[in-house]
Amino acid sequence: MNDLITNKVLLGDVREVAKLLPDNHFQAIITSPPYYNLRDYSEGKLENEIGKELSHVEYVSNLVEVFTILKSKLKNDGLLWLNLGDTYKNKMLLGMPWRVALALQDSGWILRSDIIWHKPNAMPSSIKDRPTTDHEYIFMFSKNNEYFYDSDAIREPHKTFSEDSKMKGGRNHFGKVNGTPEKGKNGGNSNLHDGRWNQAFHPKGRNKRTVWEIPLGKFKDAHFAVYPEKLVEICLFASTKENDFVLDPFTGAGTTGVVACRNSRKFVGIELVDKYQGMSQKRIDEVTVQSSIFDMIHTK
């Protein structure tokens, strides 16, 4: 079974196909389902397309059904990363990402983080009676209180003791676990007790924050916005190791698969629309062929 599905994008409705996948198999699910009432991926041809429900209540309940099936497919220490954007209906912001997040929480998922994906290059809009939206959400869910999370893999540069900081002396403590700042140049600043050492001086940077500034992705063959590879990389590096299995149940143009395979993870995708199933499988095949050629050259 594993060999048959590894690095494959399976065609069909996620609610049918996911049931056939092995239980307790995936270390991470990284995905972006269709947003409510925004696009028509199957060009009106498929009734089981998610996102086209007449009411947003039905949309939420369909996503709860999907992620309830997928929960048994995720390993007990695995993570789900869910990217969602919001929708306006009759001038009203529906708050869809949070409606879905809270419904998943009610269904038993543990919501561990809400991340704002800030898009510095978001499309300009003609709107004049409210601010232009330039963010989406990424929710990080776990099945259990304990799970695999590699915080070191996604640290970001320190800001507290940057060149501009008022507390410049603190920079001398970078990388020195024993040199706590209160004994150093900051004259016993109680803000910098031992417990904060990791936050302020960890040699690999500070712990990842919850606002991620990442420009929108581009993939010319897809007629919809794909999410950026950088965004997938952060989720992937934080929640998986090499050879782990990663699932994207709404594969689209295959960004999750491309990033997973390029980084020596094993991927399984599900996609309803045959055009996108073909497109994503082709992209993933290109990456896996390149990787095997690279391996052949380097193992000689």
Ligand X SMILES: C[S@@+](CC[C@H](N)C(=O)[O-])C[C@H]1O[C@@H](n2cnc3c(N)ncnc32)[C@H](O)[C@@H]1O
Query: Does the protein bind ligand X through residue 250 (CB under 6 A)?
Result: yes
Binding test (CB under 6 A) with ligand X, winner from 49, 86, 233, 244: 49
Question: Which sign does the torsion angle of CA 157, 163, 167, 171 carry?
Answer: positive
Size of the site for ligand X (CB under 6 A): 22
Provide, rounded to whole angstroms, the least separation between the CB of residue 181 and ligand X: 43
Residue among 89 and 218 whose Cβ is closer to ligand X: 218
Indicate whether 238 belongs to the interface with ligand X (CB under 6 A): no
In the complex, least distance from residue 211 CB atom to ligand X, rounded to whole angstroms: 20
Does 154 bind ligand X (CB under 6 A)? Our answer is no
How far apart, in whole angstroms, are the C-alpha atoms of residue 246 and residue 239? 10
Sequence-ordered list of residues with C-beta below 8 angstroms from that of 199, at least 6 positions apart, any chain = 160, 206, 207
What is the pattern of x (binds ligand X, CB under 6 A) and - over residues 214-233?
--------x---xx------
User: Which tokens hold the place of 198?
Assistant: 């990791």
Using rule CB under 6 A, residue 270 touches ligand X:
yes
Residue in the shown chain whose Cβ atom is closest to ligand X: 252
Residue type, 238: A
- Gap between the Cα atoms of 191 and 180, Å rounded: 11
Question: How is 146-180 classified by DSSP, letter by letter?
Answer: S----GGGG-B---TTSTT-S-GGGGGGTT-TT--
Q: Does the footprint of ligand X cover residue 86 (CB under 6 A)?
A: no
Amino acid at 232: V
Both structure tokens of 57? 């209540």
Whole-number minimum distance, CB 217 to ligand X, in Å? 7
- Chain contacts with ligand X (rule: CB under 6 A): 13-14, 32-34, 41, 48-50, 222, 226-227, 250, 252-255, 270-273, 276
